[in-house]
Structure 1
Amino acid sequence: MASNTLPDIHVDSRHRPLVLTACMLSMFMAAVEVTIVATAMPSIIADLGGFSLLGWVFAIYLLTQAITVPIYGRLADLYGCRKMFFIGTALFLGGSVLCGFAPSLVWMIAFRALQGLGAGAITPVATTLIANIYGPHERAKAQGYLASVWGVSAIVGPLLGAFIVQHFHWSVVFWINLPIGIVAMLILAKYLPAEESRKTHALDLAGTGLLSLAVAAMLLALLQAESLGYYSLLLVGLAVMASALLVRQEKRAPEPLFPLSLWQNKVVVAGNIGGIVIGASMMGISAFLPTYVQGVLGGTPLQAGTTLALMSLGWPLASTLSGKLMQATSYRFTVLLGALLLVFGSLALLLLTPGSGLWWARVSAFMIGAGMGLCNTTFIVSVQNSVDASVRGIATASTLFTRMLGSALGTAILGATLNVNLQNRLPALHDPVQMLMDKLQRQQLSAERLNHIIEQVSASLHWVFVLAAVMSFFAIAAALLLPVGHRPAKRES
């Protein structure tokens, strides 16, 4: 474990809360983008058309963001967090402005790609930046505040998007990023000192290209598996081949993009396994629990939204508490507690039945959110404290990247599980879930027919929750990889 107890960048103690606030603003801006745009998409489609391309508005943003997360993480190590933050935020804001002026959905997709290229810098660089200005003891508390932004954005995004669309033109959904991003940049420009000039580096261009190819191929295969069919297997093969070439390249590169020595660190390995589990679990509940509430339990969209909001509430509460908990106990104990909450919350979903009340689903969602909050923050802090400052950016980025990969993996696997079950149980129906979700179609069904469809959809979603519960057990395995008794180093006296 890294033993330094002092921050790597000196910022006046009076100004550190301002720098933390700027990083939280920037992360909120990037995190809220998916949910706020989703709320506005009906208005955007009505204005620009191109409904068949709707999925790419979200897929291209996630794709370019995921590809660049590890790249920016390494560039932050080589050239400094301050410089990479300004470059990424400028790209993101530029893409936001252009999205508001998009004349068609094709142009919107192009500008969303630019947004994603900038967003790939914001989260890993802001997270690394906080690690660099706070020592290990204070880092846990600061990262807890930073991680809580994800939960808050999940609640605020849909509400803010709905308000904007109702009272303004949809372009404001994108332009609202400007004041937030500019304020964050001004704060950092004033209070974050410029880092010392660094030596000339040999950027690993071959490694960057191979990493981009591997990530792009894998994510496209996962995100577009349903439309690509068996062609997605070709993309998976391309991703595996590019990954193998990447490993060979990183072994001989003078300054590798992804230093292979990181994977000899058990804490980093644990953080990456945990990232995949958290990402997959998050999608399991985000995508399919609202479907259960509306389709099976017959709840309203508002009831489905409030159920999901409890997960988003549990995350920031647990993230904020995780700092004190890991200091009082250890990284391992805190992650293990979070993993158990994640497991019990996932197992509780298996007890849902068509006759269950909403509160059982809501308690499960809160437990899962709290578990993810404890695990996510503790993994990030433990990884940052276990590596040298020279590779902290890429170590942090790898943990965040695997969470994004886990989200795509979870969506693909759990979605396929649901589709296969529905095809086997209700082969004569084209889209039984939509029949239950659509109020008019639901009312037109006879009581006997309705109950039969509800039972079969409930059984299909049950297998989705079974698989999500199995995935959650890997969080316990990741926790057990962490060294016994290790906690954030105490500040020097």
Structure 2
Amino acid sequence: MDTNEKRKVLKRPLILASVMLGMFLAAIEATIVATAMPSIVADLGGFSLYSWVFSAYLLTNAATVLVFGKLSDIFGRKPIFVIGVIIFLTGSSFSGFSNSMVMLIIFRFIQGIGAGALMPIATTIVGDIYDKKERAKIQGYLASVWGVSAVTGPLLGGFFVDVLSWRFVFWMNIPLGLLAMLGIIIFLHEDIEKQKTSIDYPGAIWIVTAVSSFMFILVEGGIGIAWDSPLMAALIGITLFGILLFVIQERRTNDPMMPFEIWKQRIISVANLTSLTTGMILIGVSSYLPAFVQGVMGYSATIAGFTLTAMSIGWPIASTVAGRLLLIIGYRSTSILGGMSLITGGILFFLLTPDNGPLWAGIGSFFIGAGMGLTNTSFIVAIQSSVGFEKRGIATAANMFMRSLGSALGAAMLGGLLNGQMKTYIENKGLANHVSVDSANKLLDPDQNALLTEETKTILQEGLTTGLHVVYTGLLVLAVISFVFICFMPKKTDE
């Protein structure tokens, strides 16, 4: 081993630590913000915009992940990773200073752009510095990032809300992000060969346009925008037009953002479609479980965080188990077990009532987490085994894109279901002139909650309960759909 090789080996743990820290920032974002959201809404108002805080982040994350992957192939991992961290920290900083829900949503858009670089580039860096035999062990370290972030996210979120302020949920990213960025700048050295590779910017623009329009339809349809209005017709037209132009662009470009030929393999198409639906399930639990535990059950933000922690515990445990099961029963059978776990969790949420208590919610959360761990591990192994080295990065990124897209669409769709059901319930009670969907803000603020009359409080709690029941019904349906998709998985990766 020469001197340069020894230096690389010595620096790898430091590079890995920096990469894991960067992944931690993106991974913790879902659970920590979800735990703080009831308090954020109580402070800023705008309950009807609740889902957009998640949708904004997830939309730009999903739309940019493939673009950043391409850029890293051209300019190297280091500059793109650093740029991603800078954008992420900029969005985080301003999110903490937001004084309205609209401002927060705008800065979450910026934060999501940065996150689009963190996850794929971090995974790529690990693939660059470790050989094939070492990656299996390193993947265990990377999986632990999700476990640690998922466990600490709700706890930190609850701590900041109960002791300090929800604004620290965003500001805590700053020192961690700076450490990750400095580690990569100092320790990662690359030899980049200049390549003449085009970047599919039109493809990125058309998919963002189509997904954005579709999310507006899901969130505001029947609430802020009437179904039979000219604006709704325009949004539907933009969505369809964007999808059409995206497909045309991807078929004619030399370097497509989403190469359609990989979808011809059944294992990839089934895994990607299932990742889309499981992404919707994941965001449904993360986004709305704290609102149920705090707004309906009346428990603190810390207790709400513990119910999400159960999902976070189930995920890494199941991922570890999946690694062993894959060698014994194969990826298809392992995925089916994951699908069954998702359905079990979906049934528990469907049966969830205010009287069940947070323990019931936590058990349902655990089964959802176990299902995610079993299915996602199986999908990645199956996909990477079904393609050659030259397509492995694209195939993995496409699966990550579909899960991110599923989370973005799920936040929008389930948010639309919640708002629509609450609005209908309030109107049926004849209180539309005095109470609105945004009045649910008061349920989540202990001070304002105490000022509500018993009648208004009961109406809001019942409205939120019925709205969230519809959301959890949607989760169960998505779990069943996921299981059906999994059943179509081939037994061999080359099918």
TM-score normalised by L of structure 1: 0.79
Which residue does the alignment assign to 2:260? 260
- The corresponding residue for 1:470 is 477
CA distance in 2, matches of 1:162, 1:170: 9
Q: Distance in 2 between matches of 1:292 and 1:58?
A: 17
What SS does structure 2 have at the residue aligned with 1:341? helix
Cα displacement string for residues 372-429 of structure 1 (whole angstroms, at most 9, x for unaligned residues): 1222233234323433344434333322222222223333433444455555556114
Give, in angstroms, the shift of residue 332 of structure 1. Answer: 1.7
1:220-242 superposed Cα distances (whole Å, 9 cap, x missing partner): 44455443443355334312212
Structure 1's 126 and 54: CA in aligned 2 closer, same or farther, altered over 3 A? same
Per the alignment, in what secondary structure is the counterpart of residue 199 of structure 1? coil
Q: Distance in 2 between matches of 1:62 and 1:73?
A: 17
2:155–2:305 CA contact under 8 A, matched in 1: no
CA contact (8 A) 1:65 1:118 kept: yes
- Structure 1: how far apart are the matches of 2:274 and 2:127? 19
Once the two structures are superposed, what CA deviation does each residue of 1:407-463 show, in whole Å capped at 9, x if it has no partner? 2333343344445555555611445994876753787249xx95x987786566444
Shift of 1:119: 1.5
User: Could you give the per-residue CA deviations for residues 52-71 of structure 1, whole angstroms, max 9, x where no partner exists?
Assistant: 99766655433332321222
Deviation per residue, 1:301-335 (Å, 9 max, x gap): 44333222211221222234333332444222222
Structure 1 letter corresponding to 2:266: K
3-state SS, counterpart of residue 193 of structure 2: coil
SS in 2 for 1:227: coil
Alignment of 1:242-391 (within 5 A): 242-294=242-294, 297=297, 299-353=299-353, 355-391=355-391
Structure 1 position 124, deviation (Å): 1.9
Unpaired runs of at least 5, structure 2: none
Name the counterpart of 1:68.
64
Q: Deviations over 1:47-102 (max 9, x none)?
A: 9x797997666554333323212221333344443442233223323444565677
Which consecutive segments of 4 or more residues in structure 1 shift more than 6 A?
38-47, 49-54, 100-108, 165-171, 435-438, 452-457
CA distance in 2, matches of 1:424, 1:44: 25
Structure 1 portions without partners, runs of 5+: 1-8, 488-493
Q: RMSD of aligned C-alpha atoms? A: 4.2
2:27 matched to 1:31? yes
Distance 1:362 1:165, change over 3 A: closer
CA distance in 2, matches of 1:145, 1:74: 25
What CA distance in whole angstroms lies between the structure 1 residues aligned with 2:166 and 2:476? Answer: 38
Query: Is residue 487 of structure 2 the alignment partner of residue 480 of structure 1?
Result: yes
Please state whether the residue corresponding to 2:224 is helix, strand or coil: helix
**1:79-478 → structure 2 map (5 Å cutoff):** 79-97=75-93, 111-134=107-130, 139-161=135-157, 163=159, 173-225=169-221, 226-230=223-227, 231-232=231-232, 234-294=234-294, 297=297, 299-353=299-353, 355-422=355-422, 427-428=428-429, 429=431, 430=435, 434=440, 439-440=449-450, 444-445=454-455, 461-478=468-485
Change (3 A) 1:43 1:361: closer
On the 8 A contact 2:277/2:479 being kept in 1, the answer is yes
2:77 and 2:328 map into 1 onto residues whose CA distance is 30
Q: What's the CA shift for 1:472?
A: 0.7
Aligned-pair CA distance for 1:155:
3.9
Shift of 1:298: 5.2
Aligned residue pairs, count: 475
Shift of 1:366: 0.8
Q: TM-score, normalised by structure 2?
A: 0.79
Distance in 2 (alpha carbons) for counterparts of 1:186 and 1:408: 30
Distance 1:454 1:208 in 2: 41
Question: In 1, distance between residues paired with 2:42 and 2:468?
Answer: 32
Q: Deviation of residue 471 (structure 1)? A: 1.0
Q: Distance in 1 between matches of 2:349 and 2:89?
A: 40
Q: 1:332 to 1:60 in 2, by over 3 A?
A: same
Match of 1:4 in 2: none
Q: 1:50 to 1:185 in 2, by over 3 A?
A: same
Alpha carbons of structure 1 residues 277 and 189: separation in structure 2 relative to 1, 3 Å: same
Matched residue, 1:5: none
Structure 1, 98-107 or 308-317: larger mean CA deviation: 98-107
Query: Which stretch shifts more, 51-60 or 362-371?
Result: 51-60
Give the direction of change, closer, same or farther, for the CA distance of 1:456–1:206 in structure 2 (3 Å limit). closer
Judge conservation of contact 1:69–1:124 (CA < 8 Å) in 2: yes
Instruction: Work out the CA distance in 1 between the residues paired with 2:48 and 2:289.
Output: 26
- Report the Cα distance in structure 2 between the residues aligned to 1:380 and 1:254, rounded to whole angstroms: 26
Contact 1:37 1:161 in 2 (8 A): yes
Q: Percent identity?
A: 41
Q: Distance in 1 between matches of 2:271 and 2:46?
A: 39
How many Å separate the matches in 2 of 1:99 and 1:296?
Answer: 27
Cα distance, 1:370 vs structure 2: 1.1
Q: What is the deviation of 1:28?
A: 1.4
C-alpha distance in 1 between matches for 2:40 and 2:473: 37
Judge which range, 154-163 or 365-374, deviates more: 154-163
